[in-house]
Structure 1
Amino acid sequence: MGTRKRLAAALAQQAMVRIDLCPRHSERVDGFVVGIGKKWGLVAATMDGGYFDGYQAFRLKDVDRVRRDKSFEGRFARTRPEWPPSPPPFGLDSTVGVVRSLAAWSPLIGIEKANERSAIWIGSLHKAGRKWVWLHEVAPDGSWAAEPLGYRTLRITNVQVGTHYLTALAEVAGDKPSSSPSESRNDKQ
Protein backbone atom coordinates (compact mmCIF):
# COMPACT_ATOMS: atom_id res chain seq x y z
CA MET A 1 0.00 0.00 0.00
CA GLY A 2 1.40 3.41 -0.98
CA THR A 3 1.97 6.37 1.29
CA ARG A 4 -1.10 8.31 0.17
CA LYS A 5 -3.29 5.21 0.62
CA ARG A 6 -1.93 4.59 4.12
CA LEU A 7 -2.60 8.20 5.09
CA ALA A 8 -6.11 8.03 3.59
CA ALA A 9 -6.83 4.81 5.51
CA ALA A 10 -5.65 6.42 8.76
CA LEU A 11 -7.89 9.42 8.04
CA ALA A 12 -10.94 7.25 7.30
CA GLN A 13 -10.42 5.04 10.35
CA GLN A 14 -9.36 7.84 12.72
CA ALA A 15 -6.28 5.78 13.58
CA MET A 16 -3.28 7.25 15.36
CA VAL A 17 -0.15 6.96 13.23
CA ARG A 18 3.57 7.56 13.40
CA ILE A 19 4.92 9.19 10.25
CA ASP A 20 8.63 8.97 9.50
CA LEU A 21 9.89 11.74 7.23
CA CYS A 22 12.93 12.09 4.97
CA PRO A 23 15.69 13.00 5.39
CA ARG A 24 16.46 10.59 8.19
CA HIS A 25 17.24 13.34 10.73
CA SER A 26 13.71 14.76 10.42
CA GLU A 27 11.45 14.56 13.45
CA ARG A 28 8.78 11.88 13.44
CA VAL A 29 5.17 13.12 13.30
CA ASP A 30 2.72 11.40 15.66
CA GLY A 31 -1.02 11.94 15.63
CA PHE A 32 -4.27 11.61 13.71
CA VAL A 33 -4.42 12.41 10.00
CA VAL A 34 -7.06 15.11 9.49
CA GLY A 35 -6.32 16.21 5.92
CA ILE A 36 -4.57 15.21 2.71
CA GLY A 37 -4.06 17.64 -0.16
CA LYS A 38 -2.18 17.54 -3.46
CA LYS A 39 1.19 18.30 -1.85
CA TRP A 40 0.68 18.42 1.92
CA GLY A 41 -0.80 16.32 4.71
CA LEU A 42 -2.13 17.52 8.06
CA VAL A 43 -2.04 15.78 11.42
CA ALA A 44 -3.68 16.61 14.72
CA ALA A 45 -0.38 16.10 16.51
CA THR A 46 0.01 14.26 19.77
CA MET A 47 2.76 14.39 22.35
CA ASP A 48 3.95 11.78 24.83
CA GLY A 49 1.02 10.14 26.56
CA GLY A 50 -1.45 10.83 23.74
CA TYR A 51 -2.20 14.44 24.64
CA PHE A 52 -3.11 16.63 21.67
CA ASP A 53 -0.47 19.19 20.70
CA GLY A 54 -1.69 21.41 17.86
CA TYR A 55 -1.57 20.71 14.15
CA GLN A 56 1.37 19.82 11.97
CA ALA A 57 1.48 19.99 8.17
CA PHE A 58 4.10 17.99 6.28
CA ARG A 59 5.06 17.61 2.63
CA LEU A 60 3.71 14.35 1.23
CA LYS A 61 6.87 13.83 -0.85
CA ASP A 62 8.90 13.69 2.39
CA VAL A 63 6.94 10.78 3.91
CA ASP A 64 9.19 7.74 4.27
CA ARG A 65 6.89 5.45 6.25
CA VAL A 66 3.45 5.47 7.88
CA ARG A 67 2.87 3.08 10.80
CA ARG A 68 -0.14 2.52 13.01
CA ASP A 69 0.51 3.40 16.62
CA LYS A 70 0.22 0.29 18.78
CA SER A 71 0.60 1.98 22.17
CA PHE A 72 -2.09 3.10 24.60
CA GLU A 73 -1.76 6.71 23.40
CA GLY A 74 -4.39 6.50 20.65
CA ARG A 75 -6.95 5.11 23.10
CA PHE A 76 -6.11 7.81 25.63
CA ALA A 77 -6.42 10.57 23.00
CA ARG A 78 -10.01 9.45 22.41
CA THR A 79 -10.82 10.30 26.05
CA ARG A 80 -9.67 13.92 25.72
CA PRO A 81 -12.08 16.84 25.25
CA GLU A 82 -10.41 17.62 21.90
CA TRP A 83 -11.64 14.30 20.46
CA PRO A 84 -12.42 13.98 17.66
CA PRO A 85 -9.99 16.51 16.18
CA SER A 86 -11.91 18.83 13.89
CA PRO A 87 -9.67 21.48 12.37
CA PRO A 88 -10.99 24.33 10.27
CA PRO A 89 -10.41 23.86 6.53
CA PHE A 90 -6.74 24.25 5.67
CA GLY A 91 -5.29 24.68 2.17
CA LEU A 92 -3.10 21.62 1.60
CA ASP A 93 -2.46 21.90 -2.14
CA SER A 94 0.48 24.33 -2.00
CA THR A 95 3.06 25.60 0.47
CA VAL A 96 1.59 29.10 0.39
CA GLY A 97 -1.89 27.68 1.01
CA VAL A 98 -0.64 25.71 4.02
CA VAL A 99 1.19 28.68 5.53
CA ARG A 100 -1.64 31.16 4.98
CA SER A 101 -4.41 28.91 6.28
CA LEU A 102 -2.48 27.74 9.35
CA ALA A 103 -1.36 31.30 10.15
CA ALA A 104 -4.99 32.47 10.01
CA TRP A 105 -5.81 29.91 12.70
CA SER A 106 -3.06 30.70 15.22
CA PRO A 107 -1.10 33.78 16.36
CA LEU A 108 2.26 32.03 15.85
CA ILE A 109 3.40 29.45 13.33
CA GLY A 110 6.56 27.37 13.27
CA ILE A 111 8.26 26.39 10.03
CA GLU A 112 11.00 23.88 9.39
CA LYS A 113 13.28 23.98 6.38
CA ALA A 114 14.92 21.27 4.30
CA ASN A 115 18.34 20.11 5.51
CA GLU A 116 18.13 21.97 8.83
CA ARG A 117 18.55 19.68 11.83
CA SER A 118 16.15 20.18 14.74
CA ALA A 119 15.54 23.83 13.90
CA ILE A 120 12.23 25.64 13.80
CA TRP A 121 11.59 29.27 12.91
CA ILE A 122 8.70 30.76 14.85
CA GLY A 123 6.80 33.92 14.17
CA SER A 124 3.68 35.64 12.96
CA LEU A 125 3.00 35.56 9.23
CA HIS A 126 3.77 38.94 7.73
CA LYS A 127 3.43 38.15 4.04
CA ALA A 128 3.19 35.03 1.87
CA GLY A 129 3.89 34.86 -1.83
CA ARG A 130 4.47 32.06 -4.29
CA LYS A 131 8.26 32.06 -3.75
CA TRP A 132 8.75 33.66 -0.33
CA VAL A 133 7.14 33.62 3.10
CA TRP A 134 7.90 36.45 5.52
CA LEU A 135 7.72 35.80 9.27
CA HIS A 136 7.95 38.38 12.00
CA GLU A 137 9.97 36.13 14.28
CA VAL A 138 9.82 35.59 18.02
CA ALA A 139 12.98 34.54 19.88
CA PRO A 140 12.94 31.82 22.57
CA ASP A 141 12.97 34.57 25.23
CA GLY A 142 9.67 35.95 23.87
CA SER A 143 11.16 39.05 22.21
CA TRP A 144 10.15 40.06 18.69
CA ALA A 145 12.71 40.54 15.91
CA ALA A 146 13.13 44.09 14.62
CA GLU A 147 11.81 43.21 11.16
CA PRO A 148 10.40 40.20 9.29
CA LEU A 149 12.64 37.61 7.67
CA GLY A 150 11.97 35.86 4.37
CA TYR A 151 12.08 32.12 3.69
CA ARG A 152 11.88 30.40 0.34
CA THR A 153 8.70 28.37 0.02
CA LEU A 154 10.56 25.56 -1.76
CA ARG A 155 12.62 24.94 1.39
CA ILE A 156 9.69 24.75 3.84
CA THR A 157 9.06 21.12 4.81
CA ASN A 158 6.88 21.34 7.91
CA VAL A 159 4.50 23.90 9.43
CA GLN A 160 3.17 23.78 13.00
CA VAL A 161 0.45 25.69 14.86
CA GLY A 162 -1.28 25.46 18.20
CA THR A 163 1.38 23.42 20.00
CA HIS A 164 1.79 23.89 23.73
CA TYR A 165 5.17 25.56 23.07
CA LEU A 166 3.81 27.99 20.47
CA THR A 167 0.79 28.84 22.63
CA ALA A 168 3.00 29.63 25.64
CA LEU A 169 5.45 31.65 23.54
CA ALA A 170 2.60 33.69 22.01
CA GLU A 171 1.31 34.48 25.50
CA VAL A 172 4.72 35.74 26.67
CA ALA A 173 5.57 37.60 23.44
CA GLY A 174 2.39 39.66 23.33
CA ASP A 175 1.42 41.72 20.29
CA LYS A 176 3.84 41.83 17.39
CA PRO A 177 5.40 45.13 16.29
CA SER A 178 4.46 46.43 12.85
CA SER A 179 6.99 46.72 10.02
CA SER A 180 7.45 45.87 6.37
CA PRO A 181 9.69 43.18 4.87
CA SER A 182 13.21 44.15 3.91
CA GLU A 183 14.60 42.47 0.81
CA SER A 184 18.05 42.46 2.40
CA ARG A 185 16.89 40.27 5.31
CA ASN A 186 15.95 37.03 3.63
CA ASP A 187 16.97 33.41 3.55
CA LYS A 188 19.67 33.26 0.86
CA GLN A 189 19.65 29.46 0.68
Structure 2
Amino acid sequence: MAKGAILQDLKRARRSGKPVRVDREIDCADRLDAYVVGIGRKWVLLHTISNELRLDGHSVIRLRDIKCATRSGWKGAAMTHRALALRGECVQSPAGIDLDSTAGLIETLTEAFPLIAVYLEKVDPYVCYIGRAQRITRKKRLRLQEIGPAADWALTYSTNKTTDITRFDVGGGYIDALHAVGGDPPEC
Protein backbone atom coordinates (compact mmCIF):
# COMPACT_ATOMS: atom_id res chain seq x y z
CA MET A 1 0.00 0.00 0.00
CA ALA A 2 1.29 3.48 -0.85
CA LYS A 3 2.53 5.57 2.08
CA GLY A 4 0.09 8.39 1.22
CA ALA A 5 -2.83 5.97 1.43
CA ILE A 6 -1.57 4.63 4.76
CA LEU A 7 -1.33 8.15 6.16
CA GLN A 8 -4.90 8.86 5.02
CA ASP A 9 -6.11 5.61 6.65
CA LEU A 10 -4.41 6.59 9.91
CA LYS A 11 -5.96 10.06 9.83
CA ARG A 12 -9.40 8.59 9.09
CA ALA A 13 -9.02 6.14 11.97
CA ARG A 14 -8.02 8.93 14.32
CA ARG A 15 -11.02 11.05 13.34
CA SER A 16 -13.44 8.11 13.58
CA GLY A 17 -12.31 7.07 17.04
CA LYS A 18 -12.47 3.40 15.98
CA PRO A 19 -9.72 0.83 16.50
CA VAL A 20 -7.38 -0.29 13.74
CA ARG A 21 -5.14 -3.25 13.13
CA VAL A 22 -1.62 -2.16 12.22
CA ASP A 23 0.73 -4.43 10.31
CA ARG A 24 4.30 -3.38 9.71
CA GLU A 25 6.90 -4.24 7.08
CA ILE A 26 9.30 -5.62 9.70
CA ASP A 27 9.74 -9.39 9.74
CA CYS A 28 8.29 -10.93 12.92
CA ALA A 29 7.07 -7.55 14.25
CA ASP A 30 3.96 -7.65 16.41
CA ARG A 31 0.66 -6.79 14.80
CA LEU A 32 -0.94 -4.06 16.89
CA ASP A 33 -4.64 -3.55 17.57
CA ALA A 34 -5.04 0.01 18.77
CA TYR A 35 -6.58 3.44 18.52
CA VAL A 36 -4.63 6.06 16.60
CA VAL A 37 -4.20 9.02 18.98
CA GLY A 38 -1.36 10.95 17.33
CA ILE A 39 0.34 11.27 13.96
CA GLY A 40 3.58 13.11 13.33
CA ARG A 41 6.07 13.40 10.50
CA LYS A 42 8.03 10.32 11.68
CA TRP A 43 6.04 8.54 14.38
CA VAL A 44 2.48 7.37 15.09
CA LEU A 45 1.10 7.19 18.65
CA LEU A 46 -1.32 4.34 19.40
CA HIS A 47 -3.37 3.50 22.49
CA THR A 48 -2.96 -0.26 22.38
CA ILE A 49 -5.52 -2.96 23.04
CA SER A 50 -4.38 -6.07 24.89
CA ASN A 51 -5.33 -9.63 23.98
CA GLU A 52 -7.80 -9.43 26.88
CA LEU A 53 -9.57 -6.53 25.10
CA ARG A 54 -8.40 -3.89 27.56
CA LEU A 55 -6.61 -0.63 26.86
CA ASP A 56 -3.01 -1.26 27.84
CA GLY A 57 -0.55 1.58 27.49
CA HIS A 58 0.71 3.28 24.37
CA SER A 59 2.93 2.23 21.49
CA VAL A 60 4.79 4.60 19.22
CA ILE A 61 5.80 3.19 15.84
CA ARG A 62 7.64 4.58 12.85
CA LEU A 63 5.31 5.79 10.15
CA ARG A 64 7.57 4.47 7.39
CA ASP A 65 7.36 0.90 8.74
CA ILE A 66 3.58 0.64 8.50
CA LYS A 67 2.37 -1.72 5.79
CA CYS A 68 -1.34 -1.53 6.54
CA ALA A 69 -3.62 0.18 9.06
CA THR A 70 -7.24 -0.62 8.55
CA ARG A 71 -10.50 -1.59 10.18
CA SER A 72 -11.55 -3.58 7.12
CA GLY A 73 -10.66 -7.23 7.34
CA TRP A 74 -10.68 -7.14 11.13
CA LYS A 75 -14.05 -8.56 12.03
CA GLY A 76 -13.54 -8.04 15.77
CA ALA A 77 -13.01 -4.27 15.61
CA ALA A 78 -16.63 -3.27 16.25
CA MET A 79 -17.02 -5.78 19.09
CA THR A 80 -13.72 -4.65 20.63
CA HIS A 81 -14.79 -1.02 20.50
CA ARG A 82 -18.15 -1.84 22.12
CA ALA A 83 -16.56 -4.02 24.83
CA LEU A 84 -14.16 -1.24 25.82
CA ALA A 85 -17.02 1.29 25.90
CA LEU A 86 -19.19 -1.01 28.03
CA ARG A 87 -16.32 -1.36 30.51
CA GLY A 88 -15.95 2.40 30.64
CA GLU A 89 -12.44 2.35 29.23
CA CYS A 90 -11.60 5.62 27.49
CA VAL A 91 -9.00 6.15 24.82
CA GLN A 92 -6.41 8.68 25.94
CA SER A 93 -3.66 10.59 24.24
CA PRO A 94 -0.77 11.73 26.41
CA ALA A 95 -0.24 15.46 25.92
CA GLY A 96 2.88 17.00 24.49
CA ILE A 97 4.45 13.95 22.82
CA ASP A 98 6.71 15.01 19.91
CA LEU A 99 6.03 12.68 16.98
CA ASP A 100 8.09 14.64 14.45
CA SER A 101 11.64 13.68 15.52
CA THR A 102 13.18 10.72 17.30
CA ALA A 103 15.16 12.89 19.72
CA GLY A 104 12.06 14.95 20.56
CA LEU A 105 10.01 11.78 20.97
CA ILE A 106 12.46 10.24 23.42
CA GLU A 107 12.68 13.47 25.41
CA THR A 108 8.91 13.93 25.68
CA LEU A 109 8.22 10.26 26.45
CA THR A 110 10.85 10.41 29.22
CA GLU A 111 9.21 13.52 30.67
CA ALA A 112 5.74 11.97 30.58
CA PHE A 113 6.47 8.39 31.72
CA PRO A 114 8.84 6.88 34.29
CA LEU A 115 9.87 3.97 32.02
CA ILE A 116 10.02 3.34 28.30
CA ALA A 117 10.33 0.09 26.37
CA VAL A 118 12.63 0.35 23.36
CA TYR A 119 12.37 -2.05 20.42
CA LEU A 120 14.99 -2.63 17.72
CA GLU A 121 12.88 -5.09 15.75
CA LYS A 122 15.00 -5.08 12.59
CA VAL A 123 18.03 -6.02 14.72
CA ASP A 124 16.17 -8.51 16.98
CA PRO A 125 12.37 -8.71 16.81
CA TYR A 126 12.12 -10.76 20.01
CA VAL A 127 13.78 -8.36 22.47
CA CYS A 128 12.86 -5.05 24.02
CA TYR A 129 14.83 -2.97 26.48
CA ILE A 130 12.94 -1.31 29.32
CA GLY A 131 14.31 1.49 31.43
CA ARG A 132 14.83 5.19 31.87
CA ALA A 133 16.33 7.21 29.02
CA GLN A 134 19.30 9.23 30.22
CA ARG A 135 20.11 11.12 27.02
CA ILE A 136 20.99 10.86 23.36
CA THR A 137 24.70 11.06 22.65
CA ARG A 138 26.32 13.19 19.94
CA LYS A 139 26.60 10.00 17.86
CA LYS A 140 22.81 9.63 18.02
CA ARG A 141 22.74 6.74 20.45
CA LEU A 142 20.14 6.39 23.17
CA ARG A 143 21.63 5.87 26.62
CA LEU A 144 19.19 3.78 28.64
CA GLN A 145 19.45 2.68 32.26
CA GLU A 146 17.70 -0.67 32.08
CA ILE A 147 15.42 -2.37 34.56
CA GLY A 148 15.35 -6.16 34.42
CA PRO A 149 12.40 -8.57 34.62
CA ALA A 150 12.94 -8.89 38.39
CA ALA A 151 12.61 -5.07 38.66
CA ASP A 152 16.33 -4.72 39.40
CA TRP A 153 18.13 -1.70 37.97
CA ALA A 154 21.37 -1.92 36.00
CA LEU A 155 24.14 0.28 37.35
CA THR A 156 25.41 1.08 33.85
CA TYR A 157 23.84 2.38 30.67
CA SER A 158 23.17 0.47 27.48
CA THR A 159 23.37 2.33 24.19
CA ASN A 160 21.58 1.75 20.91
CA LYS A 161 21.57 3.71 17.68
CA THR A 162 18.41 5.80 17.45
CA THR A 163 18.13 4.83 13.77
CA ASP A 164 17.70 1.18 14.84
CA ILE A 165 14.72 1.97 17.08
CA THR A 166 11.43 0.89 15.52
CA ARG A 167 8.99 1.16 18.42
CA PHE A 168 8.53 2.49 21.93
CA ASP A 169 5.98 1.34 24.52
CA VAL A 170 4.98 3.35 27.59
CA GLY A 171 2.48 2.74 30.35
CA GLY A 172 0.62 -0.53 30.33
CA GLY A 173 0.39 -3.27 32.90
CA TYR A 174 3.84 -4.83 32.69
CA ILE A 175 5.82 -1.60 32.43
CA ASP A 176 3.81 0.00 35.25
CA ALA A 177 4.36 -3.09 37.44
CA LEU A 178 8.12 -2.93 36.86
CA HIS A 179 8.14 0.69 37.98
CA ALA A 180 5.92 0.00 41.00
CA VAL A 181 8.29 -2.72 42.23
CA GLY A 182 11.62 -1.29 41.07
CA GLY A 183 10.95 2.38 41.69
CA ASP A 184 13.06 5.08 40.15
CA PRO A 185 16.58 4.24 38.94
CA PRO A 186 19.58 4.66 41.26
CA GLU A 187 22.36 7.03 40.25
CA CYS A 188 24.96 5.52 37.92
Give the TM-score, by structure 1 length: 0.89
- Note if 1:58 corresponds to 2:61: yes
Q: Deviations over 1:15-50 (max 9, x none)?
A: 101101121310111110000000100001110232
1:109 to 113, 116, 138: 116
Give, in angstroms, the shift of residue 115 of structure 1. 2.8
* Secondary structure of residue in 1 paired with 2:29: coil
Residue identity matched to 1:61: R
1:186 corresponding residue in structure 2: none
Q: Does the 8 A contact of 1:49 with 1:76 survive in 2?
A: no
Q: Partner residue of 2:176?
A: 167
Work out whether residues 155 and 187 of structure 2, in 8 Å CA contact, stay in contact via their aligned partners in 1: no
In structure 1, the partner of 2:75 is 70
Match of 1:46 among 42, 45, 49: 49
* Structure 1 stretches of 4+ moved >3 Å: 79-82
Match of 1:99 among 101, 106, 112: 106
Aligned counterparts, 1:1-189, within 5 A: 2-68=5-71, 69-71=74-76, 72-113=79-120, 114-129=122-137, 131-179=140-188
Residue-pair matches, total = 179
Give 1:81 deviation, angstroms.
4.1
**Shift of residue 66 of structure 1?**
1.1
Question: After alignment, is 48-57 or 158-167 more displaced?
Answer: 48-57
CA distance in 2, matches of 1:102, 1:18: 23
User: 2:47·2:91 contact (CA, 8 Å) conserved in 1?
Assistant: no
Q: Is the 8 A contact 1:17 1:67 kept in 2?
A: yes
How many percent of aligned residue pairs carry the same amino acid?
32
TM-score of the two chains, using structure 2 as the length reference:
0.89
Q: Whole-Å Cα distance in 2 between the matches of residues 153 and 159 of structure 1?
A: 11
Letter in 2 for 1:88: A
Tell which deviates more after alignment, 109-118 or 69-78: 69-78
> Structure 1's 79 and 88: CA in aligned 2 closer, same or farther, altered over 3 A?
farther
Greater mean deviation of Cα atoms: 133-142 or 62-71: 62-71
> Deviation of residue 150 (structure 1)?
1.2
Q: Is the 8 A contact 1:49 1:73 kept in 2?
A: no
Structure 1 portions without partners, runs of 5+: 180-189
Query: Deviation at 1:146?
Result: 1.4
CA-based RMSD: 1.5
